[in-house]
């Protein structure tokens, strides 16, 4: 009997191991579809309160309410694109073949003025380190090829957006139906625990994503004030873009400070470099750092303490893993995905010591 029980235990362990490896392999191979599903799930969580309000208070049918929510999402996406297009056109108008000379002159001016400024402090920029002349003419002429690549990326992005919206519509419309099917995959004795887990997951993730919206709104407000104070052109659009970049953990803020600094310098191009461009850019950078400190010390602890409930090192490793496996999208979705996994670990492996330690705050 002991040998039979041991044999069954080993067989089950091997089965679970093979199943886990197979699921992991499928997720990696189908990561685009998995990404669509995760993004659609996030939009569903954010849109569900609207659908619930329309159905409960205004007596809309679930289909009409879901369509209304999708239209609202489309309006928001269109609004974001319409905000960004003027900035992209303004900053990229010299990137075509027709404006190579204009862009070269602009880059050379900025480079030479930066060199003159550093020379005042006995710091020289070696052309062997950064050959601006070699960069501008040849490299800029290659930009149209890059723009063609961007065109293909935009085509894929359009397909992605349509796919996500399609999935989101059915998750909003038939979400309860899909939840019931999911519950049926498990033994009857676990039905109640699975249902409670789904409710708990929806509650945690709703708080998390609403917290993210709160975080982005605060950063957008702070960035806008900073840029308006120093008279940077397209302040609202730049602030919005840099605030959105904070959705990418760790890397986003670094990209944001580089982008804001560059756009600030180009905004003042033509002014005196040492008395206008450098001081204004430094002030903007200081303001950006202050806004990040507010975010790191106030916004993020609030979000994580109310939803993720994980140790900072734990969060860092999860985000790093998500980035290695799925790139930027993986970094953005790592924390909510990990939260879901933790809830289910608590359901299925509640007696495991490691699981108990990881999920004690859930």
Q: Are 208 and 339 in contact (CB under 8 A)?
A: yes
Query: Rounded CA gap, 163 and 155, in Å?
Result: 12
Instruction: Please indicate whether residue 361 or residue 241 has the higher confidence score (pLDDT).
Output: 241
Q: Kindly report, residue by residue over 72-85, the tens digit of the pLDDT.
A: 888 887 877 777 66
Run of H or E residues at 303: helix 300-306
Helix, coil or strand: residue 269? strand
- Tens-digit pLDDT profile for residues 23-40: 777 767 777 787 788 788
Whether residue 90 has pLDDT greater than 80: no
Q: 127 or 276: which carries more pLDDT confidence? A: 276
8 A C-beta contact, residue 79 and residue 71 = no
**pLDDT greater than 70 at residue 197:** yes
CB of 218 within 8 A of CB of 294?
yes
Q: Residue 259 contacts by C-beta under 8 Å, 6 or more apart in sequence?
A: 238, 241, 242, 245
pLDDT tens-place string over residues 145-185? 544 555 555 566 778 888 888 888 888 888 777 777 777 77
Q: Is the pTM of this model over 0.85?
A: no
């Amino acid at each position: 009997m002991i040998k039979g029980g041991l044999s069954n235990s080993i067989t089950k362990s091997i089965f679970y191991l093979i199943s886990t490896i197979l699921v992991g392999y499928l997720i990696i191979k189908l990561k685009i579809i998995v990404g669509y599903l995760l993004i659609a799930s996030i939009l569903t969580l954010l849109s569900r309160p609207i659908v619930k309000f329309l159905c409960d208070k205004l007596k809309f049918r679930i289909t009409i309410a879901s369509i209304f929510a999708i239209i609202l999402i489309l309006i928001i996406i269109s609004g974001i694109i319409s905000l960004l297009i003027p900035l992209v056109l303004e900053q990229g108008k010299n990137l075509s073949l027709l404006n190579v000379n204009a862009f070269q002159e602009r880059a050379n001016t900025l480079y030479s003025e930066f060199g003159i400024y550093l020379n005042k402090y006995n710091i020289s920029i070696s052309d062997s380190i950064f050959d601006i002349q070699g960069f501008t003419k040849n490299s800029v002429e290659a930009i149209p090829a890059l723009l063609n690549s961007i065109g293909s990326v935009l085509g894929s992005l359009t397909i992605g957006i349509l796919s996500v919206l399609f999935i989101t519509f059915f998750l909003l419309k038939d979400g309860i139906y899909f939840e019931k099917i999911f519950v049926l995959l498990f033994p009857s004795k676990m039905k109640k625990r699975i249902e409670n887990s789904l409710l708990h997951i929806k509650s945690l993730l709703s708080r998390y994503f609403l917290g993210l919206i709160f975080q982005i709104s605060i950063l957008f407000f702070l960035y806008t004030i900073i840029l308006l104070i120093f008279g940077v052109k397209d302040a609202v659009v730049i602030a919005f873009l840099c605030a959105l970049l904070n959705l990418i953990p760790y890397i986003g803020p670094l990209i944001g400070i580089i982008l804001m600094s560059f756009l600030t310098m180009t905004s003042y191009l033509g002014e005196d470099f040492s008395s206008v461009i450098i001081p204004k850019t430094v002030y903007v950078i200081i303001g950006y750092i202050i806004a990040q400190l507010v975010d790191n010390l106030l916004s993020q602890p609030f979000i994580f303490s109310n939803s993720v409930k994980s140790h900072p090192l734990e969060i860092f490793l999860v985000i790093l893993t998500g980035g290695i496996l799925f790139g930027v999208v993986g970094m953005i979705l790592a924390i909510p995905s990990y939260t879901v996994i933790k809830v289910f670990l608590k359901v299925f492996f509640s007696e495991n010591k490691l699981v108990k330690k990881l999920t004690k705050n859930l």
